[in-house]
Amino acid sequence: MSSTKPPRVHAPRLAREQRVDEILLAARELFCEKGYETTAVAEIALKLGVVEGTIYKYFATKRELLLKVLEYWYEEMFGDYARDLAGQSSHRARLHLLIWRHLRSVRDFPRLCRLMFREVQSEHDYRGTLLHDLNRRYTQLLVDVIEAGVAGGEFRADLPAPLLRSLVYGGIEHHSWNYVCGRGALDIDSLAEQLTSLVCEGIAVHQSSQPSTPVRGEGRKRGASA
Amino acid sequence: MSSTKPPRVHAPRLAREQRVDEILLAARELFCEKGYETTAVAEIALKLGVVEGTIYKYFATKRELLLKVLEYWYEEMFGDYARDLAGQSSHRARLHLLIWRHLRSVRDFPRLCRLMFREVQSEHDYRGTLLHDLNRRYTQLLVDVIEAGVAGGEFRADLPAPLLRSLVYGGIEHHSWNYVCGRGALDIDSLAEQLTSLVCEGIAVHQSSQPSTPVRGEGRKRGASA
Amino acid sequence: MSSTKPPRVHAPRLAREQRVDEILLAARELFCEKGYETTAVAEIALKLGVVEGTIYKYFATKRELLLKVLEYWYEEMFGDYARDLAGQSSHRARLHLLIWRHLRSVRDFPRLCRLMFREVQSEHDYRGTLLHDLNRRYTQLLVDVIEAGVAGGEFRADLPAPLLRSLVYGGIEHHSWNYVCGRGALDIDSLAEQLTSLVCEGIAVHQSSQPSTPVRGEGRKRGASA
Amino acid sequence: MSSTKPPRVHAPRLAREQRVDEILLAARELFCEKGYETTAVAEIALKLGVVEGTIYKYFATKRELLLKVLEYWYEEMFGDYARDLAGQSSHRARLHLLIWRHLRSVRDFPRLCRLMFREVQSEHDYRGTLLHDLNRRYTQLLVDVIEAGVAGGEFRADLPAPLLRSLVYGGIEHHSWNYVCGRGALDIDSLAEQLTSLVCEGIAVHQSSQPSTPVRGEGRKRGASA
DNA sequence: CATGAATGAGTGTTCATTCAT
DNA sequence: AATGAATGAACACTCATTCAT
């Protein structure tokens, strides 16, 4: 009969920064497990033993939360690239390092990759984001290596660096998709080798080992284009 | 006061197949215009002058409808590949043709590509689909060409064909993403050239140091890429 | 153990028009009882034994529902004004009729008045509404009577009709506010008399019964204005 | 990564009264700019460089804050009415003064009027408020003038003073509504003249048929009314 | 005296899908 | 074969208010 108003139980008071980190972490996990759309803000709150409103104190919108989660991740990824790259003895080795490290990221956080590609990059509000910038700086590393390699005479001149970048990152993405979706494994060492080799040497048999290059002449004729 | 009741005009009864085609067409257009999630089944019905229930007579779920739309598209894409490939004089030319035709598909139906990638391939129910099968057969064409080229001595032995496939299709996907998302254009002729060259000759300067077909003049320019 | 999915129980199927009327009625009642903001769409649905979505089938938004409720009411109010006004023997009598009928509306649907004034007229989206138009046509009736009275020599020339209209409708509104808010009664017969008299004869003692008009001269001097 | 914690700067401790004034001022401004419902307590706090809790130290609820804001305003409005009224030479002049001063208030603080009418007077908790009392004393001024005018023989006997009060204040409210809602201007001098004249002389042509001060030339023109 | 983290209840709106007619 | 009324579950976001520090 006596209707006792349940006493307000507060979650432990945390410093702003701690809370923010907590939320980012919980959100990352849930977004990875269930995807962005399928994760309700309420779930994130529940996971923290907190109330929805609390999350909105720190992140204006669910999407902002997603963006921040990914920014967080990118910042982790940058790590000590500069030093590591400098330590390599050739541009090919540097390229190999970039490929290998990217594969490692994909292997370690496959769902984040998926989020990045599915939920973020395809939306119109992506451009101009801090995240967009981070992404560009990240993939720019590869472009830089290519250009240095060209300058150093290790790579052919006039390479279309942006296309190469797409080839590498897009190729990795495509090839890891099954893994990212939870099927199969990812042998990053062997893949990194193969990729580097493909990109550097190409698939064609070179003249040194075989005389004829009829292929190349043909290529110019433009298959079905024109 | 209360809005006048619209006269009950039954939509003409069409042969089942005709209806199905009608629906697929309308759905394709709307999905392309607005995306899958953002298109309501009601809208598709409206566009046909039909009622929601009618659509569910032919397609069990909205998702099935999406899948069928894409299957239709894939069947279109196969077209007369076999004959066209046979008409090429070298494996390099065949590779170039595949790349060029894929780029053409991307250019002509960017939204369908986007749907394929964003809405379908990443979902768990994709495996085992007819669509999945179609997609595999489609990309298998490239694998076949590679293997034939290897067998014919035109390409290096022991190439990791599946990885190559990912490189090509993933690379194209990645590079066209901006275009697919409505930003920029897509010069498919030049891209096809560059891609074929990159894949065949690689980026490294060859020991033989022969002038080695430089990747044609596009240098730093970027297609629609970010 | 056996989890039986509860069978979907549908509310009785009604013709579109009937449902619309039902909803308008229920909404009117609840808006009147509890006010617009305080009434949840869910409540209206509940009252009809229907689900929220059903209401949104017929009304795009809660606000549209409010507007329609009020339009409905205005259309009732217009009734057979034209004929009734024509039956009056003088313009003063017509004015009295308008005042009396308006008071009757206020008495019968005080909460609707309140809604009209509080929730609708003060919002920016009011202008250009059908409701706005209805309201103008309604109050225009008074302006017409005034002008006819002027033309017929019964009322003074050069009356500021719109101001008069405000005086009458605003005055009634103000005076009925307590009643509208649920306090006290509303003797519409006596009020109509008094109002008509005040508006027609004014408060000043007329010369016919008293010689001096010092008041009027004073008036011109402008109290504290200038 | 996580946003940098803002340095904890305590707002300077002010004397209680000073704080109260500050809050009232900020609240008034925001309520006027954005309306009551649309202004969040947090915004008021922000404007003061203070925290929400602080405001609740001085005002138990948001609504109490609104009420106090309006009380403040009423107290300003009273100003030196008594002296000014006494300075008028006739009751008609006094009436004119009251009307003019009220119009001036409306013109100068339209949003406060709107708040008063929309948010306060229509709520059930209004009765018995200090604000209610202030409002009554304010409008009572007019009743007093009327009664004095009757006693002095300047106005007709047996006037329904409260109805008259409604006529004047309600009429002004109604007529200024567009202005209050941000549309059009308000010519208070001319309006005051017209209103006084209408109230005093009425609209009817008097039997004596004396030239009877026509309501000054404004004819059909409308103030800011709809 | 001031902070500011946390609450918690609330709500309009959307949509794929079902099914009686 | 088609209709179209009805379902029902879901969800992002807001905000006045409380209270431990």
pLDDT tens, position by position, C140-167: 999 999 999 999 999 998 899 999 999 9
Contact C16 B1 (CB under 8 A): no
Residue span(s) of chain D under CATH 1.10.357.10 come to 67-201
Measured between CA atoms, the residue of chain D closest to residue C182 is D124
Backbone angles phi, psi at B142, to 5 degrees: -70, -45
Tell whether D3 lies on the interface with A, counting CB pairs under 8 A.
Answer: yes
Q: Give chain F positions with protein CB within 7 A.
A: 1-21
Q: Which pLDDT does position B219 carry in this prediction?
A: 40
- Give yes or no for a contact between B212 and B201, defined as CB atoms under 8 angstroms apart: yes
Does any CB of chain A come closer than 8 Å to the CB of residue B184?
Answer: no
Beta carbons of A24 and A32 less than 8 angstroms apart: no
For chains A and B, count residue pairs whose Cβ atoms are closer than 8 Å: 218
Query: Taking CB atoms and an 8 Å cutoff, what residues of chain D touch A20?
Result: 2-3
Please check the confidence at residue A115 and state whether its pLDDT lies above 60: yes
CATH of the domain spanning C16-59: 1.10.10.60
Closest residue by Cα to residue C155 from D225, D215, D165, D170: D215
Interface residue A211 vs chain B (CB under 8 A): no
Domain with CATH 1.10.10.60 in chain C: 16-59
On whether any CB of chain D is under 8 Å from the CB of C11, the answer is no
Contacts of B54 (CB under 8 A, 6+ apart): B11, B19, B45, B48
Q: Which residues of chain B have pLDDT under 50?
A: 1-8, 209-226
Candidates D174, D193, D207: best to mutate against C (most CBs of C within 10 A) is D174
C30: part of which helix (H) or strand (E)? helix C16-34
Q: Domain C68-202 is classified in which CATH homologous superfamily? A: Tetracycline Repressor, domain 2 (1.10.357.10)
- Interface membership of A212 toward B (CB under 8 Å): no
% chain D with pLDDT above 70 = 84
Q: Is the pLDDT of residue A39 over 70?
A: yes
Confidence of residue C2 (pLDDT cuts 50, 70, 90): very low
Does residue D21 belong to the interface with chain C, where contact is any CB pair within 8 Å? Answer: no
Alpha carbon distance D113, D109 (integer Å): 7
pLDDT in tens, A67-110: 999 999 998 888 778 888 989 999 999 999 999 999 999 998 88
Going from the C-alpha of C128 to that of each of A19, C63, C131, D112, D155, the distances in angstroms are: 49, 15, 8, 26, 43
Nearest chain D residue (CA) to C127: D226
Residue A155 DSSP symbol: B
Residue closest to sugar C1' of F14 by CA = A53
- Those residues whose C-beta lies under 8 Å from the C-beta of residue C198, and which sit 6 or more positions away, are D159, D160, D163, D164, D167, D199, D202
Largest Cα separation within chain B, whole Å, is 87
Q: Render pLDDT for D68-95 as a digit per residue (tens, 0 to 9).
A: 999 999 888 887 788 889 899 999 999 9
Joined together, the tokens standing for residue A1 give 């009969």
Retrieve residue B98's tokens.
């595949």
Task: Give, in Å, how far the C1' of E10 lies from the CA of A54.
Answer: 16
Q: Is residue C8 very low, low, confident or very high in pLDDT (cuts 50, 70, 90)?
A: low
Please state, in angstroms and rounded to a whole number, the distance separating the CA atoms of residues D104 and D98: 10
Written as one string, the DSSP assignment of C70-133 is HHHHHHHHHTTHHHHHHT-SSHHHHHHHHHHHHHHHHHH-HHHHHHIIIIITTSTT-TT-HHHH
Q: Which residue has the tokens 């669910």?
A: A62
Give the closest-approach CA distance of C183 to chain D in angstroms: 10
The structure tokens 């949003």 sit at D111
pLDDT of residue B14: 56
User: Which runs of E-coded beta strand occur in D41-117?
Assistant: none
Q: What's the rounded mean pLDDT across residues A13-19? A: 84
Interface present between B and D (3 or more CB pairs within 8 Å)? no
The pair of structure tokens assigned to C182 is 């649920």
Query: Vertex C187, ends C182 and C193: CA angle to 5°?
Result: 140
Residue A5 neighbours by CB under 8 Å, 6+ apart: none
- Residue B204's DSSP bridge partners are A155
**Chain C residues whose beta carbon lies within 8 Å of the beta carbon of residue D199:** 198, 202-203
Q: Which chains touch D (3 or more CB pairs under 8 A)?
A: A, C
Three-class DSSP category at D204? strand
Domain B67-201: which topology?
Tetracycline Repressor; domain 2 (1.10.357)
**Strand ranges (DSSP E) for chain A?**
none
Calpha distance B160→A196 (Å, rounded): 12
Query: Are B95 and B199 in contact, with CB atoms under 8 Å apart?
Result: yes
More confident residue, B119 or C63: C63
Residue A205 Cβ < 7 Å to strand E? no
Residue A225 tokens, joined:
């284009």
- Residue D138's contacts (CB-CB under 8 Å, 6 or more residues apart) are D74, D77, D78
Q: Strand E within 7 Å of which CB atoms in A 40-99?
A: 49-54, 57
Segment B80-104, tens digit of pLDDT: 788 889 899 999 999 999 999 999 9
Cβ contact B166 with chain E strand, < 7 A: no
Q: What is the pLDDT of residue A86?
A: 87
Distance in angstroms (rounded) separating the CA atoms of residues D167 and D156: 16
**Cβ of residue B152 closer than 8 Å to a chain A Cβ:** no
Residues carrying CATH 1.10.357.10, chain C: 68-202
| Nearest nt by C1' to D52 Cα | E4
Better-predicted residue by pLDDT, C10 or D211: C10
Sign of the C-alpha dihedral computed for residues D189, D191, D193 and D199 taken in this order: negative
Residues 79-98 (B) with a CB less than 8 A from some CB of A:
84, 88-94, 96-97
